[in-house]
Structure 1
Amino acid sequence: MKILVDVNLTPRWVGFLGEHGLVAVHWSSLGALNAKDEELLEAAIRGEYVLLTHDQDMGTLLALKQTTQPSVVLLRTSDLRPEVVGPKLVSILNDLREDLQAGALVVVEDERIRLRRLPI
């Protein structure tokens, strides 16, 4: 599974995910820091990435587009640092691998995880 880390999350996610066997790239190495959300979604589709973000608008954008790709994982936890929420995220990515390959929106919160298959 390949992960595209949104610019609103630290580039440290790339190294953390790599240490756990996941290929990851930070948006800052692919495109402009002020790119529109649609551009990130298109890059994720082209590169067959799962988009990891903290941007709550991504779920709305997926719903409006009525698309089955890309999968988006939305971090809505109180602490976004890889060393804090990272182990939980890696477990979720592994557990939901099939759903993410098919197309899903996964919302990760402190106390729960929500999964919606695409399109929504």
Structure 2
Amino acid sequence: MKLLVDKGLPRSAVALLCEAVILTIHVADIGFSAADDTPILQTAQEDKHVVVTLDADFHGLLALSEATSPSVIPIPIERLRAQSLTGLLIKVIAQCKEDLEQGAVVTVETHRIGVRRPPLLS
């Protein structure tokens, strides 16, 4: 499992996730700190990364394109610290690994994890 962490989420979580043996990079580490969502999504698809993000734009782009990858984990929880983000992602990967590997949007809320499989518009 490889993760691509979007802007707005703590870069310091990357090191913690790598320590947990989850290959992770932050968009800022690949020169995308000011990039629109489309090139981030394309890069994640090409490199087989799961996008971790604060916003729902990726979900909409996937739905409109009818793409089945990359998987996206929207976490609409503001001010999440690196330690909490890492714990949440470890939990999500443990519970939803197969879905994420096959292509899914796994939404993480405070007390719930939801999984939607493509196509997202049907």
Question: Are residue 74 (structure 1) and residue 92 (structure 2) matched?
Answer: no
Structure 2 gaps, min length 5:
none
Q: CA deviation at 1:119?
A: 2.1
Question: Are residue 86 (structure 1) and residue 86 (structure 2) matched?
Answer: yes
CA displacement, residues 2-56 of structure 1 (integer Å, 9 cap, x when unaligned)? 0001122111121111121100011111123221101000000111100011122
Larger mean CA deviation between 102-111 and 55-64 belongs to: 55-64
Q: CA deviation at 1:78?
A: 4.7
Identity of aligned residues (%): 36
In structure 2, what is the equivalent of residue 58 of structure 1? 58
Give the SS at the match of 1:108: strand
Structure 1 gaps, min length 5:
none
Kept in 2, the 8 Å contact 1:78–1:110? The answer is no
Measured in 2, the distance between the counterparts of 1:88 and 1:33 equals 23
In structure 2, what is the equivalent of residue 98 of structure 1? 98
Segments of 4+ moved more than 3 angstroms = none
In the superposition, the TM-score normalised over structure 2's length comes to: 0.91
Give the SS at the match of 2:75: strand
In the superposition, the TM-score normalised over structure 1's length comes to: 0.92
Q: CA deviation at 1:82?
A: 2.2
RMSD over aligned Cα, in angstroms? 1.3
In structure 1, what is the equivalent of residue 107 of structure 2? 107
In structure 2, what is the equivalent of residue 28 of structure 1? 28
Larger mean CA deviation between 74-83 and 91-100 belongs to: 74-83
Which amino acid in 2 is paired with 1:91? K
* Count of aligned positions: 120
